[in-house]
């Protein structure tokens, strides 16, 4: 663990974590979530940094009684990612013809230890599918917290997860068969 | 602290295990970047507005406002007492005051003098002297007498006094159903110039427990009637002169006669009304209640300051709540529209986000 100035780790009077504590504890979660959401590690690195910058600016609005720091950071990350995706969508619309012809660079795998088949299968899923997998499988959020973050009901969240995992398995089988 | 994970379909256990085993890790550069960020002082958290905490504060503020309003009400009541208004008279024993102080204003046809209600145990009653102006003078006296015998004799004396003053009895009611208590009511009319004598004599029948004097100046009304009558007389005279002419056609003469008849009729009615007003103003109405009962049973007990303050506070609170309710009723449709708008906007945003993520 990296050394950080001790005062940054001082707990607030209310018992809520300080920003430094929250950043250290949840950096990996936020990063993993963004990797799955964007499907691009390089973009996810940038968005993670942007998320924590935004979180630092908005830290005074964080209320530990309304949810954990991890959930709050994931909400900030989601908002940051959606802004990025909207910008990308606009850019693609503007450069429609060029984007269609633009050869896609071979992106790095989503995770170092991920098998090529699983990596390919994950990339073939939609961002919505990858997002629910990230929240429920990687971050191990319970379905109600994940649902609140996604703005859907817990039942819809469970359904979405099952369908996403089902699709992922099918894609995996296809990839292995190929 | 992460929430306990919920069960994911066992069919996907192997897949879940593989995904968790190959979890993406942030690079060293990213870690350093975020740690650099964390070393900057984070702004302190801003306290959030919470309805649960705000409700007691609002309630306390309302209570303070109500008590303050009630205190202001008490203050203004006190100032009225100091100013010598009606409530002073209610609380203070009846005391003779100069007639000029109580006399109605010289002008104004509304109730010229505030109703005066005197309650006390003195034997003398202070009645304002009638002025030379025409007035509708009404007095109300409550006099306590010793017993039923005194009630009977006092009633008779009051009737004799009325007649001796040139007045007459309009209503006489004697009521002594059983036991030692009884009442009698006399409504008399006496010449307004003798009303002070009448009140003085009535007050000697026993102990005055309450007195109320109500004077309405009617002089202005009579003056107006006089002006109208004079104008009508001039009109009648003009019409009579016109009719005396010999060069009028039959139609003109008929029209003039009709107008003259109408003017004379109106004049007669105005004169009658004026005479009635003057006649009424020449006589004062005195309502005399003689009773054997205790004053406590007759007059309402004056409220204590604390009770009055509490009543004022409750009244102010009631007013505030009424206004709040009214504001809520008025604002409710707009609030409902705003809530519906917010809900629609949120749903639209969710749909857009879902589309974006499904296509990304």
Q: How far apart are the first and last CA of chain B?
A: 31
Does some domain include residue B360?
A: no
Q: Which residue of B has its CA nearest to A128?
A: B357
Residue A165 lies in domain? 109-178
A91 and A31 in one domain?
Answer: yes
A98 and A42 in one domain?
Answer: yes
A134 and A73 in one domain?
Answer: no
* Contact (CB<8Å) A138/B23: yes
CATH number at residue A56: 1.10.1740.10
A62 and A31 in one domain?
Answer: yes
Alpha helices in chain A (DSSP H): 19-38, 41-57, 69-94, 96-101, 116-124, 127-133, 143-150, 154-177
Q: Which residues in chain A have their CB less than 8 angstroms from residue B8's CB?
A: 136-137, 161, 165
Does some domain include residue A8?
A: no
CA distance A153 to A119: 29
CA distance A172 to B325: 63
Is residue A13 pLDDT above 80, yes or no? no
DSSP code per residue over B94-110: P----HHHHSPPSS-SS
A102 and A115 in one domain?
Answer: no
- At which of A90, A107, A124 does a domain end? A107
Does some domain include residue B41?
A: no
pLDDT over 70 percentage in chain B:
74
Distance from CA of B305 to the nearest CA of A (A): 47
Q: Domain tally for chain B? A: 1
Does some domain include residue A31?
A: yes
Does some domain include residue B76?
A: no
Whether A151 has its CB under 8 Å from any CB of chain B: the answer is yes
* Contact (CB<8Å) B34/A27: yes
A102 and A20 in one domain?
Answer: yes
Distance from CA of A50 to the nearest CA of B (A): 9
What tens digit of pLDDT does each residue of A25-35 get? Answer: 999 999 999 99
Question: What are the residues whose beta carbons fall under 8 Å from the beta carbon of B226, sequence distance 6 or more?
Answer: B274
CATH number at residue A167: 1.10.10.10
A113 and A103 in one domain?
Answer: no
Does some domain include residue A3?
A: no
> Which has the higher per-residue pLDDT, B94 or B153?
B153
Q: Residue B212, exposed/middle/buried by CB under 10 A (0-12, 13-18, 19+)? A: middle
A56 and A25 in one domain?
Answer: yes
Q: Please, are residues B77 and B312 in contact by the beta-carbon 8 Å criterion?
A: no
Is residue A67 pLDDT above 70, yes or no? yes
Does some domain include residue B3?
A: no
DSSP code per residue over B21-49: HT-----HHHHHHHHHHHHSPPPPPPPPP
What tens digit of pLDDT does each residue of B85-113 get? Answer: 333 333 333 333 333 333 344 443 444 44
Does some domain include residue A7?
A: no
Does some domain include residue A6?
A: no
Question: What are the residues whose beta carbons fall under 8 Å from the beta carbon of A39, sequence distance 6 or more?
Answer: A107, A110, A122, A123, A127, A130, B360
- Per-residue pLDDT at B77: 45
What tens digit of pLDDT does each residue of A145-155 get? Answer: 999 999 889 99
The average confidence (pLDDT) of chain B is 78
A117 and A103 in one domain?
Answer: no
Helix, coil or strand: residue B143: strand
CA distance B314 to B320: 10
CA distance A120 to B339: 44
Whether A140 has its CB under 8 Å from any CB of chain B: the answer is yes
Question: What are the residues whose beta carbons fall under 8 Å from the beta carbon of A60, sequence distance 6 or more?
Answer: B42, B43, B44, B45, B46
CA distance B283 to B261: 33
Is residue B259 pLDDT above 80, yes or no? yes
CA distance A11 to B20: 30
A20 and A33 in one domain?
Answer: yes
Question: What are the residues whose beta carbons fall under 8 Å from the beta carbon of B108, sequence distance 6 or more?
Answer: B217, B220
A100 and A41 in one domain?
Answer: yes
pLDDT over 90 percentage in chain B:
25
Q: Which residues in chain A have their CB less than 8 angstroms from residue B16's CB?
A: 137, 165
Q: Residue A167, exposed/middle/buried by CB under 10 A (0-12, 13-18, 19+)? A: middle
A74 and A56 in one domain?
Answer: yes
What tens digit of pLDDT does each residue of A101-146 get? Answer: 555 555 678 888 888 888 889 989 999 999 999 999 999 999 899 9
* Contact (CB<8Å) A142/B3: yes
Residue B219 lies in domain? 98-300
Does some domain include residue B313?
A: no
CA distance B327 to B309: 27
Does some domain include residue A74?
A: yes
Is residue B23 pLDDT above 60, yes or no? yes
Does some domain include residue B259?
A: yes
* Contact (CB<8Å) B357/A85: yes
Q: Is the ipTM of this complex over 0.85?
A: no
Question: What are the residues whose beta carbons fall under 8 Å from the beta carbon of B280, sequence distance 6 or more?
Answer: B136, B218
- At which of A72, A107, A142 does a domain end? A107
Q: Which residues in chain A have their CB less than 8 angstroms from residue B34's CB?
A: 23, 27, 48-49, 52
Q: How far apart are the first and last CA of chain A?
A: 42
Is residue B40 pLDDT above 80, yes or no? no
């Amino acid at each position: 663990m990296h050394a950080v100035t001790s005062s940054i780790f001082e707990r607030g009077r209310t018992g809520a974590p300080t920003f430094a504590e929250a950043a250290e504890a949840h950096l990996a979660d936020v990063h993993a979530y963004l990797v799955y959401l964007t499907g691009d590690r390089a973009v996810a690195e940038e968005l993670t940094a942007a998320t924590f910058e935004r979180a630092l600016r908005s830290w005074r609005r964080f209320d530990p009684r309304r949810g954990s720091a991890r959930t709050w950071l994931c909400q900030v990350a989601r908002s940051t990612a959606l802004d990025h995706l909207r910008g990308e969508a606009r850019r693609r619309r503007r450069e429609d013809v060029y984007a269609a012809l633009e050869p896609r660079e071979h992106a790095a795998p989503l995770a170092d230890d991920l098998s090529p088949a699983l990596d390919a299968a994950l990339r073939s899923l939609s961002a919505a599918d990858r997002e629910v997998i990230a929240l429920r499988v990687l971050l191990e959020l319970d379905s109600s917290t994940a649902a609140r973050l996604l703005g859907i009901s817990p039942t819809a969240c469970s359904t979405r997860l099952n369908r996403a995992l089902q699709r992922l398995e099918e894609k995996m089988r296809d990839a292995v068969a190929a | 602290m992460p929430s306990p994970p919920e069960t994911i379909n066992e069919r996907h256990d192997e897949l879940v295990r593989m995904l968790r085993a190959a979890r993406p890790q942030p690079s060293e550069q990213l870690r350093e970047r975020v740690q650099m960020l964390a070393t900057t002082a984070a702004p302190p958290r801003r306290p959030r507005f919470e309805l649960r905490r705000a409700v007691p504060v609002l309630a306390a503020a309302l209570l303070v406002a109500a008590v303050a309003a009630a205190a202001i009400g008490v203050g203004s009541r006190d100032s009225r007492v100091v100013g010598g208004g009606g409530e002073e008279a209610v609380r203070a024993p009846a005391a003779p005051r100069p007639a000029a102080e109580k006399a109605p204003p010289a002008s104004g046809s509304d109730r010229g003098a505030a109703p005066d209600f005197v309650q006390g145990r003195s034997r003398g009653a202070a009645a304002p002297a009638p002025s030379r102006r025409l007035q509708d003078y009404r007095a109300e006296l409550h006099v306590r007498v010793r017993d039923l015998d005194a009630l009977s004799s006092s009633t008779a004396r009051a009737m004799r006094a009325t007649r001796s003053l040139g007045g007459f009895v309009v209503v006489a009611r004697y009521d002594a159903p059983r036991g030692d208590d009884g009442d009698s009511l006399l409504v008399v009319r006496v010449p307004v110039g003798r009303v002070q004598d009448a009140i003085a004599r009535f007050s000697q029948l026993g102990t005055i427990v309450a007195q109320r004097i109500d004077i309405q100046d009617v002089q202005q009304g009579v003056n107006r009637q006089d002006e109208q009558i004079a104008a009508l007389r001039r009109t009648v005279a003009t019409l009579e002169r016109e009719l005396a002419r010999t060069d009028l056609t039959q139609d003109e003469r008929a029209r003039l006669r009709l107008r003259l008849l109408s003017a004379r009729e109106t004049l007669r009615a105005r004169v009658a009304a004026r005479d009635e007003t003057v006649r009424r103003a020449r006589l004062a109405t005195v309502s005399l209640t003689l009773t054997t009962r205790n004053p406590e049973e007759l007059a309402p007990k004056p409220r204590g300051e604390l009770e009055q303050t509490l009543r004022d506070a409750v009244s102010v609170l009631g007013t505030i709540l009424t206004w709040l309710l009214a504001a809520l009723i008025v604002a409710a449709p707009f609030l409902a529209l705003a809530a519906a708008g917010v809900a629609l906007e949120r749903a639209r945003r969710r749909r857009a986000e879902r589309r974006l993520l499904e296509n990304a």
